[in-house]
Amino acid sequence: MNSLNENCGIEYTLTMMGGKWKPLILWQLGKYGTKRYGEIRRYIPSVSNKMLSQQLKELANDCLITRHDYQTVPPKVEYKITKEGKSLMPILELMCSWGIDHEIVCKK
């Protein structure tokens, strides 16, 4: 019998967009478009600055978002979801729907 990671891309997908914050960042950028760091931070108030910076960097390195630095004073940096990142939106939409449905069922 083959191991899961030989036949299935779940493990790879989770390394790209898994964790607590990456799906929320991708969701916000996919649903609401280009955002600055502070806008993303306000959307996810419980994430630390260090963790948010790290997650944004990883998402950019994995080509799921782009980072545009305008080289201005004060600094202006914008983040935008890429085509590859947008391809994850159906998965995130299913996760969103499942979460809403499960929360309702679980509270009964």
What is the tens place of the pLDDT at every residue in 92-105? 999 999 988 888 77
22 CB neighbour count, 10 Å cutoff: 20
Q: Which domain holds residue 51?
A: 4-107
What one-character DSSP code corresponds to residue 36?
E
State pLDDT tens for residues 58-101.
Answer: 999 999 999 999 999 988 999 999 999 999 999 999 999 998 88
At residue 77, what are phi and psi to the nearest 5 degrees?
Answer: -130, 135
According to the model, what pLDDT value does residue 18 have? 86
Domain total in the chain: 1
**C-alpha distance from residue 78 to each of 4, 10, 43, 48 (Å):** 37, 29, 15, 18
Q: What is the CATH number of the domain that holds 89?
A: 1.10.10.10
pTM of the entire structure?
A: 0.86
- CA–CA gap between residue 26 and residue 80 (Å, rounded): 9
Beta-carbon contacts of residue 73 (< 8 Å; ≥ 6 apart): none
